[in-house]
A and B are shown apart, each in its own frame.
Chain A
Amino acid sequence: MVRIPTPLRSYTGGAAVVEADGTSLAELLDDLDRRHPGLRFRAIDEQGRLRQHMRIFVNREIERDLETPIGPGDDVALMQALSGGCDRALDRGGEGPPAPGAADQPRVTVTPM
């Protein structure tokens, strides 16, 4: 299961969590794009790099290497990183998980799901 941020939900019919398979993040993203065409390119550029303001978390840990292996039980979240504007939701105890990675990304806040 992959969690999808709001800007990409137009590709998933509005679904916040969708299914995708793969043994690595790269495979998972390819499968995600097969199921929801067009999604991958908005988040991953043509050279296979995560776009500047997108983040991927695996089991709440930020992950930048798309060759990272993943297993069936892993929690994968694709998220948008913002430099402002979304932390108010966190301040008021917004829905979703606490800001994963926020401690090691002090200048970046993460949109709650």
Chain B
Amino acid sequence: MSTSPATVVILGTRKGLFFLTGDGERSSWALSEPHHLGNIIQHAVVDPRNHTRLLAATRTGHLGPTVLRSDDWGATWTEAITPPAFRSGERLERSLDAVFWLTPGHADEPGVWYAGGTPQGLFRSEDGGDTWATVDGWNDHPMWETWAEFPYQGTPDGAMLHSVIVDPRDPKHLYIGLSGGGVFESFDGGADWQPLNEGTAADFLPDPDAEFGHDPHCVRLHPARPDRLYQQNHCGIYRLDRPHDRWERIGDNMPADVGDIGFPVELHPRDPDTVWVFPMDGTEVWPRTSPDGRPAVYRTSDAGSTWMRQDHGLPERGWFTVKRQAMTTDMADPVGVYFGTTSGELWASADLGESWRPIARHLPEIFSVEVAHVDGGFGSS
């Protein structure tokens, strides 16, 4: 077994979870057998505080949602004793349809995880994902019924709470994204929240200066510059540099014939100015495929002032979608970039997006793509 760090891509798909293991050079890849075949794996995330721990948000077409944990790279799995759920008997009679998003907590809180759901609930575990409780400050916030989509859910796949972000400097400073609803921020560990949407467009709302109701698709905070956030929104690409609270539409600098609509926005792990997006067609009836069916990643290396098309190796024509959790970057040098498609292909670049090749095909619809580097080789702990 190789002793160099293996690069492991964790794929959450409509039909199960897969590991794709690369060698140290990221040149050859091996696909695992499916784990939990037939189960919907919405999001599978490795714990950065414990690289052998993996949590997966799952459900099936029939069964309710739950969270699975593995501490041995999928050799064994343990289901949450108390999965995320709304409080029984509550006034709104909410029922969690899906765990949509998982986020590990702060480095100083090694057992803490957050989960975002459909409907748009927020849940927290303090024991590594075994038991979950509602974050009452959000779920019972006096404005929740106004901010969240409930009971009517206008978002096509159901309203979801995503992009749970923990400030690496302060475990009580949190951000969340609601599709639809907007970005919200808490400074007290989730006890209270306020909207953070100034500057973002909401072309589907009559009020151009609406305080909430927006549709962030994916929000990322840069770990090397925690005052910087990027957002791929239903209506544009944005950057926010705190302490300012007005988002700047950096997507206006994208080519006009491509536009700045999409789902994911992914970060260079060390350079806060470098970001990747995967534009999609948001015209007319919103096909959500690449503009003109010509798949391309776009990268900025100057925080959004200019964008570079990166399509070398990608098919000339293609009609897939890349979902908000289905793109990521690794920690290697040069940085690797990965995206999974709704048509079950996993594309990778080992050179900052300059060139692409498929490293897995014929998979189920890909919902999430995450990467970990495993010392001592994949499978050892």
Which residues of A pack against B, CB within 8 Å? 5, 7-8, 37-38, 41-49, 51, 53-54, 80-82
Contacts and interface: CB of A to CB of B under 8 A. Distances in A.
B96 A45 contact: yes
B88 interface: yes
Contacts of A47: 86, 88-90, 93-95
A38 B62 contact: no
23 contacts: A5-B62, A7-B60, A7-B63, A38-B79, A38-B81, A38-B83, A41-B64, A43-B64, A45-B64, A45-B95, A46-B88, A46-B94, A47-B86, A47-B89, A47-B95, A48-B88, A51-B62, A51-B63, A53-B61, A54-B62, A80-B62, A82-B61, A82-B62
A109 B307 CA distance: 52
B312 interface: no
Interface of B: 60-64, 66, 79, 81, 83, 85-90, 93-96
Contacts of B94: 46-47
A50 to B, nearest CB: 10
Given A38-B81, A41-B83, A41-B85, A46 B63 contact: no
Nearest to A48: B88
A113 to B, nearest CB: 15
A46 to B, nearest CB: 4
Given A7-B60, A8-B63, 10 more contacts: A42-B64, A43-B63, A43-B64, A46-B85, A46-B86, A46-B95, A47-B90, A47-B93, A47-B95, A80-B62
Contacts of B86: 46-47
A53 B62 contact: yes
Interface-central residue, B61, B85, B87, by most chain A CB under 10 Å: B61
A4 to B, nearest CB: 12
Contacts, number: 51
A47 B85 CA distance: 10
Nearest to B92: A47
A66 to B, nearest CB: 13
Nearest to A37: B81
A54 B64 CA distance: 10
A41 B66 contact: yes
A20 B61 CA distance: 25
A8 B94 CA distance: 23
Contact of A42 (B63, B88, B89): B63
B66 A42 contact: yes
Interface-central residue, B81, B87, B93, B95, by most chain A CB under 10 Å: B95
A47 B91 CA distance: 10
A51 B64 CA distance: 7
Contacts of B88: 46-48
Given A41-B66, A42-B66, A43-B64, A49 B83 contact: no
A32 to B, nearest CB: 14
Contacts of B85: 41, 45-46
Interface-central residue, A38, A43, A47, by most chain B CB under 10 Å: A47
Interface-central residue, A38, A41, A46, A81, by most chain B CB under 10 Å: A46
Contacts of B62: 5, 7, 51, 53-54, 80-82
A99 B136 CA distance: 43
A42 B85 CA distance: 11
Nearest to B85: A46
Contacts of B96: 45-46
A92 to B, nearest CB: 21
Nearest to A85: B61
A44 B96 CA distance: 11
A49 B89 CA distance: 11
